Every structure is written in C-alpha cells, then in structure tokens.
Amino acid sequence: MSEAAAATPPARWQDQPHQVVERDGVRYTLLGTAHVSHSSVEAVRDAIAGGGFDAVAVELDAQRLQALTDPDALARLDLVQVIRNGKTALFAANLALAAYQRRLAEQLGVQPGAELKQAVLDARERGLPVELIDRDVGLTFKRASNRLGFWGRAKLGGGLLAGLLVDEPVAEDDIEKLKTGDMLESSFSEFASDTPALYDTVIAERDRYMAARLREASAERRDRGAPVDDVLAVVGAGHLQGLARHLAEDSQAPGPVLGELEALPSKSKVPWFTLFLCAFVLGGFAWGFWQGGLDVGSELMLQWVLATGLLGALGCAIAGGHPLSILVAFVASPITPLHPALASGTLSALTEAWLRKPTYADFMALREDVGTLKGWWRNRVARVLLNFFLTSLGTAIGVWTGGLRMLGQLVG
C-alpha cells in the first residue's frame, strides 16, 4: 500500500464498523456492512477507490454471486437433474431465500447484498483479485438441517414452504437486525425458531470458515508471486467480531479447518426407521395370510395400498399434477416408504417435469410467481416443487394412517 493511502485513509468508510488484523505479513481490513443499506454500498465503493488494496474478499459463495450478477442463470437450470440428484429441497430453500430477499428489496428499495455485488464489480473494474470466502450456501443449509433433528427439520421445511407462499412484509425488527446481522441468519430465523445449533452452523461456523479462507487465499497468492500485503474483506457486520477473532487467534492450518467445515455430519448408514417399517408392513401381511388366510392377508395389503396410494395421489392432484404423474404417485406411494433410496415425491415430480417441461419463461417468472398463491399453480417450475412436497406429504400421512389401521387389526 502506498504511503499516501496509509497517511490519508478514506473518509466515508471511517464511520462504518471495521477492524484491522495483521497476520503472516498480511494486513486484513475487515469492513462490516449492512446487507440492506445504500450507505454500505457507498462505503464499499469509497474503500476500494481509495484503499490501495491488493485484493478484495467478499462474504459470498459462487452460487450467491451468480444469483446477484447473472439473473438469467436460473433459466439455464436443468430441473430434471436437480430432482434426480436429490437437490429438490435445497432448490426450494434457495427459492425461499430469494423470495425473502425480494420482499426486502420491495420494502427498502435496495437489493439485499448490493454492497457485496458492488465490491465484486468495482474490484474487477480495477483489476483486483476477487476472493469468494463464504461457504457454499447448500452446505450451510445441509449442516444446519442435519443438526436440527427430525422435528427441527420439519419445522424448518414448513417454514420454508410458508416463506414461499406468504408475501407479507418483513417485520421492522427483522430489518433492524439485518443492519447489524447476517442475511442467512435472518432468513433461517424467519423459517425456523432460533436454536443454538442453528446459530452455530449459520454464524459461528462461517466466521471460522471465512477466516480460514482468507488465510488460504493469501497463501495461494503468495505462492503465485502475487502481492498480498493488504486485503479488504467485505462482510456483514454480524460477522465482524467473530471473523476478526478467528483470523487473529486460530492456530490450525486453513486446509484442515475448511475440510472439517465443508464435511456433512456423519449419519447412521443403517436406515433403522425404513427397516422397522418394512419389517412391520411385510410382517403384518405375512401374519394376516398365516392367521386369517387369503381374505385377511389381502385385506391388509389393500388397506396399505389404498391408504398410501390414494393420499400420495391426492397430494399430487392438489399440486395440479398431470394424470400420469398422479398415477405414478399412486403406484409409487405404497412401495417407496419401504425403500430408503426412493421417494414417491421424487418419482412423481420427475414425471411432471418430463411431461410438462418448464420453459425459459417459467424460470424467468419464477421469483415473481412464487410471490402469489395462484402463481404456484401457473408456473411449471413451482408446480413441480409443489408436486414433490405434496406427494411426499400425502404418502407420509398415508404411511401413518395405513400403519395404524394395520396395527389395530393385528392387536384386535
């Protein structure tokens, strides 16, 4: 950094929350911003214009940067591949986040994360390296979901769906928190009540992750012979204290830290609930045929098929599914609960996406359409998501209904 820049620091971002941490020969200037503030956008522009920095780091991952800078990216998405790869719930979570940000933009007249986008654009214009230091939002969502437990995940899933369907203004308290907090924290908090696990995954882990990414990026640039004396990191104000602490104090090498925080918590490889359900259902059929003969066994099987198949098909029908999608839901719903790798909602949604392939216009109108209840049934992308969720929900209700009826006959 030049002596002039050091002697005359930029005036306008002096009032913004910021900290300076020096480590391993690098001076990190951490600029805390509000994700819904015009003044934060101006502060970022001012800092990059007069700071004499060698590189700019931003609190973004590749997916969120693309969403900010390339609005047409959504239209190039292959929805069938999303469903096949088991990323339907993650896709819905991203839509919920986008819907939340749209509501904020409409209320405040500023795009959430505009200061991060501006940091990237200004850095590129000046030829400065840009480092994306935040963890992939999909990984953060999965780690948070895994730590919430079954009922926590159910509450989060219900909250995400409600966040997509409801178009109410964002509460003033939530907007005030955003000015000193974090976008993902505010989004998750709207969809599920605050829990220590949620905070740890969405805030504390990302503080540590971004500190490690800053150190790793500086080491990589030094290895390439690029200048790394002074780095500006633009992050939400809610991360400022934690990021500064980890950047100054963490002694572990960045690589192992990033590997730890990018890994998904290990799950039991034995699908106990599926095994129990399979044993219960098939055992009930066998008991019925053995004790009551063909009539009782056939009746138990028919009850199971009707309870799961009809309710799964009903969910698909409510979602406006194609007749063939409804048929697939009916056939799949009695079978998929007994197999850990299958889901009736996935099969019916795949059928729907294949029969009624979403168009470019559907993707471009998606964020607007999910803001209204009618738009969910009008837009083919949204309707596929509804198909997935409502078919799965109908099948789940059918499993409990059919299982309880079978249990009543077995013990009666």
Q: How confident is the model at residue 214 (pLDDT cuts 50, 70, 90)?
A: very high
pLDDT of residue 19 exceeding 80: yes
Query: Which pTM value belongs to this model?
Result: 0.73
CA distance 184 to 163: 14
Range name among 28-32, 138-142, 346-350, 381-385 with the lowest pLDDT average: 138-142
- In angstroms, the Cα distances linking 253 to 58, 201, 211 are 21, 20, 11
Residue 178 is predicted with a pLDDT of: 62
pLDDT in tens, 162-197: 666 666 666 666 665 666 666 666 666 555 555 666
CA distance 77 to 92: 13
Q: How confident is the model at residue 55 (pLDDT cuts 50, 70, 90)?
A: very high
Residue 134 is predicted with a pLDDT of: 94
pLDDT in tens, 83-124: 888 777 778 777 777 777 777 777 777 777 888 999 999 999
Mapped to the 3 state alphabet, what secondary structure does the chain carry? CCHHHHHCCCCHHHHCCEEEEEECCEEEEEEEECCCCHHHHHHHHHHHHHCCCCEEEECCCHHHHHHHHCHHHHHHCCHHHHHHCCCHHHHHHHHHHHHHHHHHHHHHCCCCCHHHHHHHHHHHHCCCCEEECCCCHHHHHHHHHHHHHHHHHHHHHHHHHHHHHCCCCCCHHHHHHHHHCCHHHHHHHHHCCCCHHHHHHHHHHHHHHHHHHHHHHHHHHHHCCCCCCEEEEEEEHHHHHHHHHHHHHCCCCHHHHHHHHHCCCCCCCCCHHHHHHHHHHHHHHHHHHHHHHHHHHHHHHHHHHHHHHHHHHHHHHHCCCCHHHHHHHHHHCCCHHHCCCCCHHHHHHHHHHHHCCCCHHHHHCHHHHCCCHHHHHHCHHHHHHHHHHHHHHHHHHHHHHHHHHHHHHHHC
Residue 194 is predicted with a pLDDT of: 55
CA distance 203 to 184: 8
Cβ count near 170 (within 10 Å): 18
Residue 387 is predicted with a pLDDT of: 94
Instruction: Work out the mean pLDDT of the chain and round it to a whole number.
Output: 83
Residue 228 is predicted with a pLDDT of: 77
pLDDT of residue 392 exceeding 90: yes
| Most confident among 35-44, 58-67, 173-182, 321-330 (mean pLDDT) | 321-330
pLDDT of residue 357 exceeding 70: yes
Residue 150 is predicted with a pLDDT of: 61
Give the closest residue to 146 by CA, choosing from 91, 185, 202. Answer: 202
The answer to whether residues 312 and 330 touch, using CB atoms and an 8 Å cutoff, is yes
* Order of strands, sheet of 18-23, starting from the edge strand that comes earlier in the sequence: 18-23, 26-33, 230-236, 55-58, 130-132
- In angstroms, the Cα distances linking 211 to 116, 132, 134, 302, 358 are 17, 12, 9, 58, 41
CA distance 98 to 77: 15
Residue 164 is predicted with a pLDDT of: 60
pLDDT in tens, 24-40: 899 999 998 887 778 88
Question: CB within 8 A of 26, min separation 6: which ones?
Answer: 218, 228, 229, 230, 231
Residue 365 is predicted with a pLDDT of: 83
Mean pLDDT of 47-63: 89
Letter for the amino acid at 367?
R
The tokens for 292 are 């009551």
Q: How confident is the model at residue 10 (pLDDT cuts 50, 70, 90)?
A: very low
Residue ranges per structural domain of the chain:
3-262, 272-411
More confident of the two residues 15 and 84: 84
More confident of the two residues 387 and 291: 387
Cα dihedral value 184, 186, 188, 193, nearest 10: 150
